[in-house]
Amino acid sequence: MRPICIIVPMTEVKISVPEHVTVIMDGNGRWAKLRGQERLYGHKEGVESVRACTEFAVEKGIKYLSVFAFSEENWDRPVEEIEGLMQLMLMAITKETPLFQKNGIRFRVIGDFSRLSDKLRGEIDDCMKLTEDNTNLQLIIFLSYSGKWDIVQAANKVVEKKLQAGEIPQVTAQELHANLSTADIPDPDLLIRTSGEQRISNYMLWQTAYTEYYFTEVLWPDFRKTEFQKALDAYAKRERRFGKV
């Protein structure tokens, strides 16, 4: 009796693509130093990595790409570097706004705006308003941001509302979450940190409770599409249980 050969049709394996990827962009200064340049040179090249990763995120169908551009603690850096970074941010927004419109990208900035210049705040507001109806991707820049600041300001909002309503000012997890600066944004599925450091540096402390972490030795100016794909490949192999079996 001949053996029966059963042909099973091949099915497409669906790769898990994260909805929200966030990046701690680290290593600009070291990248510049290795090339005998000033730190600002590394930050300028880092802008090119943001552009490349934004384009790749659109290609992959990622809906939210957020980047940690400047922390609250970074205000303690030398004045010259801070001024250079803020000028670079201003120039990048002005240059990229037409491309955001062309590619359907919504631009957002989250953080404590009180220490930003009026000119930069105006440029940010104009770009956010102009792109607010775009739906291909949300590019979110965390600028002058601190995870602790975010939690404290959310708690203060809840307490203030309850006091005004004559209620006991107790804060629930749901109320706190609803008053974070990211309340209308899904929590990150994947957090990438470049340059070999393995910490989150006071970044989205609440929101990353169940985020998958990916650390790479690659310095941020060298993190382009190939490296981004490696991070996505690693993510696709993860099993996310959120505390369940």
Secondary structure class of 195 (helix, strand, coil): coil
One of 74, 134, 136, 202 is an active-site residue; which one?
74
- Rounded Cα distance between 56 and 136, Å, is 12
Is residue 26 part of the annotated active site? The answer reads yes
Specify the pLDDT at position 241: 81
Specify the pLDDT at position 16: 83
- Let me know the angle formed at the C-alpha of 103 by 88 and 225, rounded to the nearest 5 degrees: 70
Secondary structure class of 169 (helix, strand, coil): coil
Ordered by where they begin, the domains of the chain are 20-145+188-235 (3.40.1180.10), 147-185 (no CATH)
Is residue 150 part of the annotated active site? The answer reads no
Residues in the chain where the model's pLDDT stays below 70? 1-15, 245
Q: What is the pLDDT of residues 194-214, one digit of tens each?
A: 999 999 999 999 999 999 999
SS3 content of the chain, % helix, strand, coil (to 5): 45, 15, 40
Specify the pLDDT at position 15: 54
Nearest residue to 206 via CA among 154, 144, 143 = 154
Q: What is the pLDDT of residues 152-165, one digit of tens each?
A: 999 999 999 999 99
Specify the pLDDT at position 237: 94
Specify the pLDDT at position 239: 87
Specify the pLDDT at position 10: 43
